Chain A
Amino acid sequence: MDARVNPGHDHMKAKRMSDIATLEAEILKGIAAASDEAALEAVRVSSLGKKGSVSELLATLGKMTPDERKAKGPLINGLKDKVNTAINARRDALKNSALDARLATESVDVTLPVRDSAAETGRIHPVSQVIDELTAIFADMGFAVAEGPDIETDDYNFTKLNFPEGHPAREMHDTFYFNPREDGSRLLLRTHTSPVQVRTMLKQKPPIRVIIPGRTYRSDSDQTHTPMFHQVEGLVIDKGSHLGHLKWILEEFCKAFFEVDQVKMRFRPSFFPFTEPSMEVDIQCRREKGEIRFGEGEDWLEILGCGMVHPNLLRNCGLDPDEYQGFAWGMGIDRIAMLKYGMPDLRPFFEADVRWLSHYGFRPLDFPTLAGGLSA
């Protein structure tokens, strides 16, 4: 049938098969020996390229009898697959080792220090932080924040607040004055935040609920006094607020501010020209090695003054004391900051020593909230 069939056929077949094996071994050896992508590509071209050894073998398949093809086809195709796989594997390996080699050259000294986060080095002054705390607490009780100018008139700072001319209570204030104006009147630096009570009542109809934080000034300077300091006042005016409410608010405030479950307070009758009745408030605490603990102990520490708004003040602000009533309280922001956060001295508050500010200041992202805890 097939003229080409001859006695040497089996021999040739055996030879071809051994040729395939040899070829495979040669090619795989070449692949393994390829040390870079270019060498590998050369091996690929010489085997799987158009004129490559494996491609040529594949080309012989077309001329084969079905039987031959059946016998040899898998062998030749198998060779092609093996070579392909080997080349791909070798390529991956080469890529990986090249990457590893590159990475090896890229190593750095990771122990080198980096820049500190600016948000970690910046600081908020304790006074600002405490004002934010006060705002959070009182906003929750329905209080707005009112402010006024530092330079005040005698009328707003004293007279309207029921400080009679020449009264010793005026002298207790160690007032900074400006030079007299043409009309003889003298402006002054407010000695307390109370003039803002007047400004608020003159501007706004009751009901009024405000806190008034701000800078205040007295010409006094020693270990425990600075010529400038900070106060916060509270003012409530409506038609029914009384001392009982004031007591409750201040207790709630102290618990929230000092972050204690219980606080014991002592209200003592006292005197302020702009409140009647007037009281000073002590808070119970324990002092130990310079630390103050609230809600425990046997010591009393004075923290604020308060009282019912004086009828004369209401009248001076155009409110009828038989119709309107209310209360006010005031305290030192610097002082309550010292009590809460344990600064031993007042003076460094205003000395801008970055060592002090870094130690006692607050990180900018530590914003006081009721939800997160005031000093969390």
Chain B
Amino acid sequence: MSVPVRVPEVRARSSLRRVLTGLAAAVVAVVLGVAVFGPALAADPELIVGLPYTGPSAANPLGTDHSGRDVLDRVLAGGQPLLLVPIVATVLATLLGLVLGAVGGYFGGVADAVVSRLDNLLLGLPPVLVLLVLLHGWGYGAATMTVVVVLTGTPFVSRVTRAETMRAVEDGYVVAAYATGDSHLSVIVREILPNIVRPVLADFGTRLAIAVTLTAAAGFLGFGSSGPNWGAMISQNVEGIRLTPWGVAVPAVLLGVLTVAANLGLDRVVGRVLR
């Protein structure tokens, strides 16, 4: 198949693409800014300022929610809980998955059998079920959400790490390091990890997006802390959507931008840093 080359169109498309990329980055920056600095800018988000489900006004630019609280203040205050816990939990899941996968892939035998069985067991559990069972036992909290994200995220990291480690073990530089008398730990940390870190981190952004989704889902299902949370706002205000859509629309769009940015943007950033 021959491909006609049309230079002007390509150039036009690439400049359009640059504009779009810039716009996307600006939108993401605004959403991140709201999530990080919003709580400092918001007035008391629990204050009842008027009737439930009123439309935008000068005093309440986005109207009020199902309890007559200011939607804008709750939007400003409701992003932060979706950032800190998911980031910490995803980092923990990645580290744990790296250790388990490297141990299983490097040593093989019993260690590998244990790691593989554990991975398969955890992969068979639907994340929402894990979320609900732990909420049942412990209630909502940073610790609960961290454990949920670690339990559901670790097996994915561990599987990739295990496969990559098994491949790297055969490589000449690993055999050479071992032959010169390096310890197992030293071989794993100094020879294998640097060479497998790229494929393992390739979908860090995807896993962070899943962690944000799970945390928001806990709020959405009504288990979050009583404080504002974009996920919870959607389910709380959906009943009044005909009266005023802003209590659903604004947190939904912000949450959507956050997860898409984590999924797409972070993968690109990680890829660029590791290149």
Q: Do A and B bind each other?
A: no
